[in-house]
Amino acid sequence: MRELRVFELDEPGQPVSLRAGYGQSVKVMEGRLWVTVEGSVADVWLQPGEVFALAEGERFWLSGEGGAARFTLAAVSAPLSWRRLGGWLRALAHRWGEWKTDAFGECPRLSVR
């Protein structure tokens, strides 16, 4: 499955910061887009129709030049991995632990004799 989101930068020169997810890429639809990737020594200028692939977890900034810049941010679904499965199981265990306690933690058990 592939997810597409369409964005428009309506303030030229005003950068927007994002963090890339798994399999994300930027494709320019209209205008000129300036891409800056954290830790990279060179910036990238994209014209309409050009695509720029991003590495998962990268922080990047986007800015338009001149008029409004429109672009799509596409992402593919991450494959099921043992790491993701482990994360889901930890989240489930955490929720189960919250369900067993009240809002203030464990309730002391009193024994009446």
Domain layout of the chain by residue ranges: 2-76
CATH class given for the domain over 2-76: mainly beta
- Give the contacts of 68 (CB within 8 A, at least 6 positions apart): 8, 9, 10, 12, 30, 31
pLDDT at 49: 93
Question: What phi and psi values does residue 103 have, to the nearest 5 degrees?
Answer: -65, -20
Identify the pLDDT of residue 89: 82
What does 39-56 look like in DSSP terms, one character per residue?
T-SS-EEE-TT-EEE--T
Burial of 71: CB neighbours in 10 Å, binned 0-12, 13-18, 19+ = buried
What pLDDT sits at residue 78? 67
Weakly modelled stretches of the chain, pLDDT under 70: 1-2, 78-83, 97-113
Give the model's pLDDT for residue 99: 55
Tell me, yes or no, if the pTM score tops 0.75: no
CA of residue 29 relative to chain centroid, distance: 20
CA distance 6 to 102: 43
What does the pLDDT read at residue 106? 56
DSSP 13: T
What pLDDT score does 50 carry? 94
